[in-house]
Amino acid sequence: MGNPLRDFKHINAQTINEATTILASGNAEAIAGGTDIVGTMKLYLLREYPETVVNLKTISPSLDYIKEEGGMLKIGALTRLEDIAKSNVVQSKWAGLAEAAHRTASPHIREVGTIGGNICQLNRCWYFRKKNNHYDCIRKGGNMCYAMAGENRYHSIFGAVAACVAVNPSDTAPALVALNATIKTSKRDIPAEEFWAVKIPGSTVLDTDEIVTEIQVPAFSGKSAFVKFALRSSIDFPIVNCAAAIDGSNVRICLNAVYNLPYRATKAEEAISGKTIDEASAEAAGTAAVSGAMPLAYNKWKVQIAKAMVKKCLLACK
């Protein structure tokens, strides 16, 4: 529902350079589909309310595309999630990513939300998201994490980053990590695994004047899968999700919504590497994945879920 919006400048950027210049000027936010930024503004979540919102959808040439070039999948940052989910080429060669896009949110949101927005979205911690900045937490420049000693049943099971136990809520993020994607920005190319960070208040390594322009996923001839656990399959953010990409002996498994950053389950990868995937080996990998878990007071049950998701994801790659 939210509160009425304060006035702000809305600028339709015509080029990437124009967009980043506006963002560099300070107190400006980018808008693509708007499914995160508008809610953030309406609820006055952050200390600062943007004076300017710069529309990326009007950038030319458009950043909305899916193409395969030289075996590599290239997705423009403004590509809608539903288009990725339905893309034949993504479904056939990068199935885990297609499934991740398909399982994000609801059909209505997928028709509007973009992959760039999905990987850049702010965290969903209910303390962070309380309207009017009710909890001025550490991710907003405050001095404490309220979830640490509070109600943390959906929070990190692998400890804190910069004293914060919120989790990364993206569904596409673990798929991009598992598929060893590269995030191309207006300034640089960043391996997906290095893209996310704990910032105030952001969730990526992007500079203020930097936007994602393209996602590049290398050629992949193996099997990939994505599974998600949520209370409601129709719309919810993940409680735990997991993506895996197995190409011969090369195994990459990434959990998400279990830590502040997408969590590469390296112990699970070691446990399954070279083995035939079956119930027993997948179960063992799941156990390995959570062997370093440090659950909080209310989220021990998430450890079991994470273990189960790794198992299910590997079995889906069988």
Query: Where does residue 230 fall: left (phi above 0), alpha (psi -120 to 50 degrees), or beta otherwise?
Result: beta
Segment 208-237, which members bind other proteins (CB under 8 A)?
A: 229, 231-237
Question: The dihedral of CA 28, 8, 215, 185: what is its sign?
Answer: negative
- Asked whether 178 and 253 are in contact (CB, 8 A), the reply is yes
| Secondary structure of residue 68 in the 3-state scheme | strand
User: For other proteins, which is the closer residue by CB, 74 or 134?
Assistant: 134
Check binding of 126 to other proteins (CB under 8 A).
yes
Q: Closer CB to other proteins, residue 68 or residue 151? A: 151
Residue 13, C-beta contacts closer than 8 angstroms, at least 6 positions apart: 19, 22, 54, 55, 56, 58, 59
Tell me which residues in 157-216 interact with other proteins (CB under 8 A): none
Q: How far is the CB of 313 from other proteins (least distance, A)?
A: 12
Closest among 168, 171, 191, 170 to 180, alpha carbons compared: 191
2 counts as binding other proteins under rule CB under 8 A: yes
Applying CB under 8 A, which of residues 307, 313, 316, 317 lies at the interface with other proteins? 307
Is residue 65 near other proteins by the rule CB under 8 A? no
CB of 200 vs other proteins, minimal distance in Å: 21
Give the number of other Cβ atoms within 10 Å of residue 219's Cβ: 12
For residue 128, which phi and psi values (nearest 5 degrees)? Answer: -60, -35
Nearest distance from residue 266's CB to other proteins, in Å? 22
**Which listed residue (308, 314, 316, 317) binds other proteins by CB under 8 A?**
308
Stretch that binds other proteins, among 56-64, 128-136, 202-210, 243-251 (CB under 8 A): 128-136
Output the CA–CA distances (angstroms, integers) from residue 246 to 91, 202, 279, in the order listed.
16, 31, 16
Q: Which stretch binds other proteins (CB under 8 A): 51-59, 79-87, 210-218, 305-313?
A: 305-313
DSSP per position, 141-180? T-S--TTTTS--TTS-SB--BTTB------SHHHHHHHTT
What's the residue count for the chain? 318
Residue 219 vs 231, nearer CB to other proteins: 231
Segment near other proteins (CB under 8 A); pick from 63-71, 126-134, 194-202, 243-251: 126-134
CB atoms within 10 A of CB 304: 15
Neighbouring CB atoms inside 10 A of 238's CB total: 27
Q: For other proteins, what does the binding mask look like between residues 69 and 108, x meaning CB under 8 A?
A: -------------------------------------x--
Q: Tell which one of 8, 18, 38, 44 touches other proteins (CB under 8 A).
A: 44
How buried is 17 (Cβ within 10 angstroms: 0-12 exposed, 13-18 middle, 19+ buried)?
A: exposed
CB of 131 or CB of 188, closer to other proteins: 131
User: Which one of the spans 1-9, 192-200, 213-221, 247-255 is the region binding other proteins (CB under 8 A)?
Assistant: 1-9
Q: Which residues bind other proteins (CB under 8 A)?
A: 1-6, 44, 106, 124, 126-127, 129-132, 134, 146, 149-151, 153, 229, 231-237, 279, 300-301, 304-305, 307-309, 311-312
